[in-house]
Structure formats: structure tokens, C-alpha cells
Structure 1
Amino acid sequence: MSAVVADLVDQVRGGAFGLPTDNEVSVGFTTRQAVRHDTRGTGYRNEVLSLRVGRAVGSCAVEPGTVDDDLVYDCIGAPVDALFDHPVLAVRVAALDAYLMAARPHEEHADDNVRIDQGTSLEKSLVRAGHVVDLLGAVPGQRVLVVGVVNSLLHHLRDRGIHYRPCDLRGGRTEWGEPISNDADLTGCDAILATGMTLGNGSFETLRAAAVAADVPLVMFAQTGSAVLPCLIGTGVTAVCAEPYPFFWLDGGPTVLHRYREAR
């Protein structure tokens, strides 16, 4: 786990957020998704582990097929404090996310809460992506390292004349046939746009440290750790577009994004 996330856990255990850490997980579940938007030539799969504490649901994306039912069942009834030490990183992230979501509801703490109206999966994906890219503040001609390739994000970057370097552990190619690297090389980039999934796969700290060393903005789009990452603004994270469960791709009706920005 990232050093700054470990520090956040220490703050939680020290009572900084008020909510007792002996609150138990009442519900655990996984969500498995496969999608190929209309007019798009490629599709993808997602799997998410979610844990509920009180009224809040915390989530962490995982590689498909890596979380079994027994792991989820073993989390039920456990106090969140115990799960902060769980051997599986995804469980630790989801438990911390649920705790912080309960302690700091997005509706009360975000800088703005943005409604995404009803629409097809592609329509909602593009609207969401536009609100994420807005947080970058990038201008035409700049280059962004995109970690966790989402074609709708690349669409908006292209449309705004912003260059990008796509990076994803899965590799492959973008919708426009561009090769996707699995090396998050920041050389020549003016900003980083990264998925919250980096919290769950252990790569977040490397990105955060690189952003600090290069003095470039680090903007996170977060379904994973949507309540964790806003607490890290100021440690190298400059903005977060937080999207708690249920995610936009689960429902054709209205959904909400919560955006946070570093104070200037």
C-alpha cells in the first residue's frame, strides 16, 4: 500500500474522521461487467469488489477472475479496522473506501456534484469523460500521460488538441489503433491522468512520486477509492473525479460525479 495511504489509515485509526473503526462490514459483493459501446470497435471487461459499511459502499477494481466468493464472504461481519490489515490489497482499499465514504459523504465535501443525465452507455461514457478531462486544465499542444486507458477520455483529449501517451497494464491498442504501453513513462508529459485502479494494483505510489518529482498535475478518475483519493489531494494529487457505486455503466438513468480540486 502507498505510504500516503498507509498514513491515511493511521489517521483513521487515530480518530481523525470521527467514525468508529469497529463498525462492521454488512454487505460484500462483486460486480462483473463486459461492454462494447455502439460504434466502438473494441470492448473490455471490469470486475469490482465492493464492501458496505453503514450506508456507504466502498469499491476496488480487480483483475477479472481474481476474487472468489469465499474471499467476499469472509469480509462480512468483520470490523473495518481488521480489514485494513487484510492480506489482499483490494480488500484493504475497499474497506478504507467504505469507511471514508461513510465518514465523509461526497455530497457534503466535494467541490461540485455533477449530474450525468440518462443515456446510452456511450453517451454517458462521453459525458463523464468530458467532466474528467476538464479537471486537467490542459491546453492544445500539451501532452498527458493517461494511465488506465478509457477511449472516451482519449476522445476528449483528441477533440481538444491535447496529445497523450496511453498506458495500461493490459496493453493493446486504442480505438484509433495507437499502441498502448505498459510503461508509465512521464518523459515529455505535462500532466498525468490516472485511474483509481492504480490504488488496487499497487502502482499509485510510483505515479504520485513521479508527479511530485516532475512538478506536474496528477488528476485521478476514481471508481476505485473514490472516497480515498480526495483525502490525498495535496500529497501530489491535484484533482479527483469521484464516482462511487453504482457506476454510470450500471444504469441508463441519471448518475452523479463528485469533483474535488486542490486549493490554489
Structure 2
Amino acid sequence: MNTALGANAVANAESGSGPGEPATPRVESLDDLVGRVLDGRISPAIADATASLGFLTQQGVRHASRECSYRNHVLSLRVEDAVGSCAVEPGELAEEVVLDCVGAPVRELLHHPSAAVRTAVLDAFLMWTGPHARRAEEVVIGRGNSLHKSVQRARAVVDLVPGKPERVLVVGVVNSLLQQLRERGCGYVPCDRKGGVTEWGEPIATDAHAALDGCDAVLASGMVVGNGTFQPLLEHARATGKPFVLFAQTASAVLPWFLGSGVTAVSAEPYPFFWLDGGPTAIYRYSVQGMFRT
């Protein structure tokens, strides 16, 4: 396991600047961040950057001893040596959409009608211009079966939630994360647009915003970026001061830009994700505190 964030990176996060850049006005919204990219304020490389490769990953899993199955579809786009991703609903993107992205300028794709395309290409560009390894704590998820790796990742993610909140709103239900909260004595409200029940038969809420006032911390999937629900959660965290922690396969390089601007911590997991490989994989942890439990 590598060391935690350096003092300069933490100072930048607390001042509202992006990872690895000098202190600048805090990022207010995704539109604000995209505007900075298009204006060349993040990197002048935007002038010539293109998406060289696009692909869809379709995954289904049922961990040993677990009752529930998961199904994930993820759009990924490559810019130079970086791959950015955005989870999508099954069947949401046709193959033609993905192929049309190949060779297209990043500038154009940031205006694409599909939010998934816009998210994936923004993620890829930001990861290329500021790789996670330069500015975050790398945590290796060791080899093992799918359940073992899921539990390892969940432990590393939940470690980012500060203190011991009485009730955590969990947006994007992953049963291994709920298990970690249960083991730490934290109550939670599971929320996912698909509804249903958790591994323990608990009803899953479908309206995250209706549950916010009854919770004192938020733990959310990066999918909130792709489905348009990130900004209201961010504004609630800013207004109330509640911890707002994100576990991000979608938009893993996007969300660290909001550290100290409503976001408390991010577990960033770029492609390839832990569920694709039984061997060691990595996640990258960011926190405005710059301190991590191990």
C-alpha cells in the first residue's frame, strides 16, 4: 500500500482546486468543470485530444454464498493512455454510438447528446492529464474470488466515511458496502433507482433526495454523475456540511475535482475494475483530510 496524499495535494483539495493544480476557485458543477476543460484551463492538450478507442463491458455476477445477482454495463473511451468510463443501463447505448466516438475530438464528444459519452470522455481526458497515481493513495485489492475482492474493496471504501454516522444514505446499492456499515454499527438507508431489497431483505428506496434529511452522511456511487443526480447531492452536502463520500468506477477522475467543494472523499477505481480480474487490482483514495485508516 502506498502512502496517503501529500500535503500539497491536500492543501489544493481544501482550497477547492483540482488535483495536482495550483489553488484556483472551487469547481461549482460538472458544467463548470467541462467549461474549464474546453477553455484549456485544465490542459492545452484539449486542442488536439481525440478518443482513439471505445468499448462496452457487460458483466453479470453472483458472489458465492450471496443471494443477489448484479448486472453492469459500462461504456469506456480511451484518450491516449487513459480509459474513462460511465455505467449505463443495459441496452441504453447502441454499438453505432460507441463506434461513432472513435477518432472524434474530445471537444466534440463533450457536447455529445449522450450523458454517458460526455462523462466517459471527460473522465478519460482528466485521467490522461492527471493520472491517479500522481496524487492519491493507491490501495491494492488482492487476488481472490469475486466475493473476497468485493469485501476488500468495500472495506477500503467505507474507511473513507469519517467518524461513525448514525445513518448513511447509500446511493447505488452494493451489498458488500452495506455489510461493512453493518459491521461498524452504522445505520443506513439503501437507495437505488431499480428498487428491490437488500441481501438482508431491507427495502431499497428509489428517491435519494427524499431520504437526505433523515441521514447524516452520504455514500454514493459515481453513477450519480452519469444519471444526472450528482449536483443535488453535492449542493445538499455543501449546505449541510454532511460528509459526502463517493466510490467511483464511473467518473473516477472527475469526482476528485470536487474535494473540499462539497465532496469529503473519493475512492477512484479506473478500468479495469476489480470484478474483471481475479488478480491484484488497484483503487485510489482521495480525502480532504489526507488521512486513511488501514
State the TM-score, normalized to the length of structure 2. Answer: 0.86
After the TM superposition, which segments of 4 or more aligned residues of structure 1 sit over 6 Å from their partners? Answer: none
Residue of structure 1 equivalent to 2:202: 178
Residue of structure 2 equivalent to 1:14: 39
For the residues of structure 2 that align with 1:46 and 1:206, how far apart are their CA atoms? Answer: 24
Q: Could you tell me how far 1:118 is from its partner in structure 2? A: 0.3
**Aligned runs of 1:9-48 on 2, under 5 Å?**
9-21=34-46, 22-48=48-74
The superposition leaves residues 14-58 of structure 1 with CA deviations (integer Å, 9 ceiling, x where unpaired) of: 222225113111100000001100000010200000000000000
For the residues of structure 2 that align with 1:97 and 1:80, how far apart are their CA atoms? Answer: 11
Residue of structure 2 equivalent to 1:65: 91
For the residues of structure 2 that align with 1:108 and 1:50, how far apart are their CA atoms? Answer: 22
Q: Could you tell me how far 1:65 is from its partner in structure 2? A: 1.1
**Aligned runs of 1:1-264 on 2, under 5 Å?**
4-21=29-46, 22-110=48-136, 112-139=137-164, 142-184=166-208, 185-263=211-289
Q: Could you tell me how far 1:3 is from its partner in structure 2? A: 6.0
CA contact 2:219–2:246 (8 Å) conserved in 1 = yes
For the residues of structure 2 that align with 1:156 and 1:19, how far apart are their CA atoms? Answer: 42
What is the letter of the counterpart of residue 260 of structure 2?
G
For the residues of structure 2 that align with 1:35 and 1:193, how far apart are their CA atoms? Answer: 22
The superposition leaves residues 203-231 of structure 1 with CA deviations (integer Å, 9 ceiling, x where unpaired) of: 11111112222220100000000000011
Q: SS of 2:57's equivalent?
A: strand
Aligned residues: 261
State the TM-score, normalized to the length of structure 1. Answer: 0.96
Structure 2 unmatched ranges of 5 or more: 1-26
Q: SS of 1:187's equivalent?
A: helix
Q: SS of 2:29's equivalent?
A: helix
CA contact 1:31–1:47 (8 Å) conserved in 2 = yes
For the residues of structure 1 that align with 2:282 and 2:246, how far apart are their CA atoms? Answer: 16
Q: Could you tell me how far 1:68 is from its partner in structure 2? A: 1.0
Q: Could you tell me how far 1:263 is from its partner in structure 2? A: 4.4
Structure 1 unmatched ranges of 5 or more: none
What is the Cα-based RMSD across aligned positions, in Å?
1.3
For the residues of structure 1 that align with 2:132 and 2:238, how far apart are their CA atoms? Answer: 26
Q: SS of 2:144's equivalent?
A: coil
CA contact 1:196–1:222 (8 Å) conserved in 2 = yes
For the residues of structure 2 that align with 1:180 and 1:138, how far apart are their CA atoms? Answer: 24
What is the letter of the counterpart of residue 48 of structure 1?
V
